A and B are shown apart, each in its own frame.
Chain A
């Protein structure tokens, strides 16, 4: 039987172009923030989990070696986990496993990226094998734009309506990011600006697409016994789910998207959630592109298949709506990829402990956090709650 586990501290750096410092110093900034938040020190940590995107992103391989000092991992077990964009969620789940199993009482989990140091989409293209896929890739925007086209076609959603809903997602999140002190992109945009922006990969335009960000995020997981000795408010892990599709992009249906649905089913079953729209108070969806956020609302059972545009346009997922999604501004406004899904966990923890500042969803008690990665291959979810 797994032990009860809680998030007892989170640390985030400011996201953006952080060329004023080295990569290890940026990682340490996130780690120190988490220690300060938890009221713990390196001596309290039994093990460290770390992850990033592929080494080509910053040109140094095996960065957990390079960052061992910045992670204050000297004399401790250090584990690396990576699943592309899902990395941050895989990190959180690895940390959870380690504590839930009883093999560690306190685990420090850290994800980071310094995307201004390399070429993010050139790095991403190396995730595609070179025989069949790589000549046709255009990084993440290509994959997610194709998902959007399939989704619109399958459900008969008029392109203009999907365009309006995606623009609304962009407008909402760019406004939300103004309330997040860590956010990278701090610019309010209008529906007209989003819909008239230059095409990057049709149908995705500039403001439908996340930025390249530098940043680090650290989250500390602890067992019940340790939590009870601490003064801060814990965010309890209520449910987790993770599911992978085939490597081959065309082998599985990314509209019905069984992998994404199975991920949510696992997490809801563990958390005892039957009606996510009613029971969840807030969700941090991994939304590097506006259209894919709409698809995830459907795959996670927030609304029926094909109805996400209607629900977005009626405000269901906006701040003040029935289930606010990404009140932090989400991935769309800050994307240091190796950290990004862990940022979703950190934001969920802040929400259910009432510490999310200007972006707090009032009275939030149960929050879903999500990671997505690979060539739309992996989905992971962690649900956090105020109650054990």
Chain B
């Protein structure tokens, strides 16, 4: 349909919407099967010794298979965080929310998830509660389907 944009210029309104079926493969599937049992699983690289989470089928640096599965801690240290306060089309998580990179105990990389259980009514005040370096712990949903949102969020540990 031809309409006018905010500058008054003629535009064609168009949309592309395409369904996908994205394969999990054995490693991602096993990782999420662990989520159903409230377990966070990583894999260890036999070459460099690092434990990476989510579990990987191979080490991005050593390029060897990672077959050794380890259960890692549900608690971790906040490496970084930011408060999202704007929205775009199709955004999966509704703002405001706190995204965070968390170093889970027994792992060697940051794990991306949400920090929850924090008052977000004033984004300028979030920094008085959430601190880089603080400890957070996974809060699981009661009903789990084997996906990343089976963890509702990570909550600050008192």
C-alpha gap A250/B79 in the complex (Å): 9
Is A66 on the interface with B (CB-CB < 8 A)?
A: no
Is B109 on the interface with A (CB-CB < 8 A)?
A: yes
Query: When the two chains form their complex, are residues B61 and A146 in contact, meaning their CB atoms are under 8 A apart?
Result: no
C-alpha gap A145/B90 in the complex (Å): 21
Residues of chain B lying within 8 A (CB to CB) of residue A150: 79-80, 101, 132
Residues of chain A lying within 8 A (CB to CB) of residue B124: 199, 202
Which single residue of chain A is at the shortest CB-CB distance from B81? A149
Given contacts A122-B91, A202-B124, A249-B110, contact A149 B80 (CB under 8 A): yes
* Residues of B73-90 whose CB lies within 8 A of A: 79-86, 88-90
A134 to chain B minimum Cβ distance, whole angstroms, is 6
Q: Mark A248-266, 1 if CB is under 8 A from B, else 0.
A: 1111000000000000000
Which single residue of chain B is at the shortest CB-CB distance from A209? B86
Query: When the two chains form their complex, are residues B148 and A132 in contact, meaning their CB atoms are under 8 A apart?
Result: yes
Q: Mark A153-194, 1 if CB is under 8 A from B, else 0.
A: 100000100000000000000000000000000000000000
Is B129 on the interface with A (CB-CB < 8 A)?
A: no
Query: When the two chains form their complex, are residues A146 and B109 in contact, meaning their CB atoms are under 8 A apart?
Result: no
Query: When the two chains form their complex, are residues A201 and B92 in contact, meaning their CB atoms are under 8 A apart?
Result: no
Residues of chain A lying within 8 A (CB to CB) of residue B132: 149-150, 152-153
C-alpha gap A125/B89 in the complex (Å): 10
Residues of chain B lying within 8 A (CB to CB) of residue A138: 82, 84, 86, 91, 95, 97, 99
Query: When the two chains form their complex, are residues B11 and A250 in contact, meaning their CB atoms are under 8 A apart?
Result: no
Q: Mark B8-26, 1 if CB is under 8 A from A, else 0.
A: 0101001110000010100
Q: Mark B28-46, 1 if CB is under 8 A from A, else 0.
A: 1000000000000000000
* Residues of B116-158 whose CB lies within 8 A of A: 123-124, 126-127, 132-133, 148-149
Query: When the two chains form their complex, are residues B80 and A159 in contact, meaning their CB atoms are under 8 A apart?
Result: no
Is B114 on the interface with A (CB-CB < 8 A)?
A: yes
Partner of A249, one of B93, B97, B112, B149: B112
Residues of chain B lying within 8 A (CB to CB) of residue A145: 82
Residues of chain A lying within 8 A (CB to CB) of residue B148: 131-132, 135
* Residues of B99-116 whose CB lies within 8 A of A: 99-101, 109-114
Partner of A135, one of B11, B93, B110, B126: B93
Residues of chain B lying within 8 A (CB to CB) of residue A387: none
Query: When the two chains form their complex, are residues B99 and A136 in contact, meaning their CB atoms are under 8 A apart?
Result: yes
> Which of B52, B89, B111 has the most chain A CB atoms closer than 10 A to its own CB?
B89
Is B49 on the interface with A (CB-CB < 8 A)?
A: no
Which single residue of chain A is at the shortest CB-CB distance from B88? A121
Query: When the two chains form their complex, are residues A122 and B89 in contact, meaning their CB atoms are under 8 A apart?
Result: yes
Query: When the two chains form their complex, are residues A250 and B101 in contact, meaning their CB atoms are under 8 A apart?
Result: yes
C-alpha gap A159/B82 in the complex (Å): 14
Query: When the two chains form their complex, are residues B5 and A131 in contact, meaning their CB atoms are under 8 A apart?
Result: no
Query: When the two chains form their complex, are residues B82 and A146 in contact, meaning their CB atoms are under 8 A apart?
Result: yes
A250 to chain B minimum Cβ distance, whole angstroms, is 3
Is A304 on the interface with B (CB-CB < 8 A)?
A: no
Query: When the two chains form their complex, are residues B123 and A250 in contact, meaning their CB atoms are under 8 A apart?
Result: no
C-alpha gap A200/B113 in the complex (Å): 19
Which single residue of chain B is at the shortest CB-CB distance from A136? B99
A337 to chain B minimum Cβ distance, whole angstroms, is 15
Task: Give me 20 other A-B pairs in contact (C-beta within 8 A), A136-B112, A146-B82, A202-B127 excluded.
Answer: A20-B7, A122-B90, A125-B90, A125-B91, A132-B148, A135-B92, A136-B93, A136-B113, A138-B91, A139-B88, A146-B101, A149-B81, A153-B133, A199-B83, A199-B85, A201-B82, A204-B82, A246-B61, A250-B110, A250-B112
Would you list the 7 A-B pairs with minimal beta carbon distance, nearest first?
A250-B110, A145-B82, A138-B84, A202-B83, A121-B88, A153-B132, A146-B80
State the B residues within 8 Å of A (CB). 5, 7, 9, 11, 14-16, 22, 24, 28, 52, 54, 60-61, 79-86, 88-93, 95, 97, 99-101, 109-114, 123-124, 126-127, 132-133, 148-149
State the A residues within 8 Å of B (CB). 17, 19-20, 56, 59, 116-117, 119-122, 125, 130-139, 141-142, 145-147, 149-150, 152-153, 159, 198-204, 246-251
